Amino acid sequence: MAYGTSKVLTEYISVGQPYSDIKKIFSINVVYFDLGQGNDYIYHGRTDFVGIHNADKLLLSDKQKELLGKVEPFQIFPEYYVIKVNQFNDKATNTLDEWIYYFKNNEIKDDFTAKGINEAKELLRIDKLTEEEQQNYNNHIKNLRNEASRMWTLQIDAEDRVRKTEKIEIAKGMKNDKVPTETIQKYTGLSKDEIEKL
């Protein structure tokens, strides 16, 4: 977990960027084995700095708060979540539990409402299709994408034709006003041959 978080941290800040540009990282770890001892199925960890002698909490200065837009150090440093799927009791009482239920049982109940759960349900449905049904589904999706691309291309072509027509009309007006061909080229983007044919 520490390695993954450190890797994300170093990959998402460029050379020369100030440290204030570092993004907050949440490390979410879904485990199917016994990671540590404990009876809960969700554990949360964050970085707090506590004085060894006085047990006081290290806080940000007013300048740091202004610069970073944070109030406490833990808001800057990575936070960790460990979800021990096998310890979940299959009772989904909130939207996070709905996801954990899915991770554990490879099933999404109809009354689940968690954000993104419907997309996962569709992927799960597709995953359970036979090989032939999956092939048919993939062909259908490909055809939909091809049709969407074709319609987009037609729209772009139509817009290009309209713009070209407008440029030609402008060029005709400029040519009638005896504007030099080079100037018409500059303002319309038409070629010398196109202008001379008008």
pLDDT at residue 18 in the model: 79
> Are 187 and 178 a contacting pair, CB within 8 Å?
no
Regarding whether 82 and 31 lie in a shared domain, the answer is yes
Give residue 57's pLDDT. 93
- 136 in helix, strand or coil? helix
Cβ atoms within 10 Å, residue 88? 18
The pLDDT value given to residue 13: 79
- The whole domain housing 126 covers 2-131
pLDDT reported for residue 89: 94
Per-residue tens of pLDDT for the chain, all 198 residues: 889 998 888 888 776 777 777 788 999 899 988 888 888 999 999 999 999 999 999 999 999 898 888 889 999 899 999 999 999 999 999 999 999 999 899 899 999 999 999 999 988 888 888 899 889 888 888 988 988 898 999 899 999 898 999 999 999 999 899 999 999 889 889 898 888 888
Of the candidates 81, 92, 85, 2, the one whose C-alpha atom is nearest the C-alpha of residue 43 is 81
Same domain? 96 vs 19 = yes
Q: Considering 107, 131, 155, which residue would you say is the last residue of a domain? A: 131
Same domain membership, residue 154 and residue 181: yes
Instruction: Identify whether residues 118 and 161 lie together within a single domain.
Output: no
Say whether both 125 and 145 belong to one domain.
no
- C-alpha to C-alpha distance for 27 and 101, rounded to whole angstroms: 20
Task: Record the pTM.
Answer: 0.57
Helix (H, G, I), strand (E, B) or coil at 177: coil
CB 19 within 8 A of CB 64: no
Both 38 and 113 in one domain: the answer is yes
Is residue 107 domain-shared with residue 138, that is, in the same domain?
no
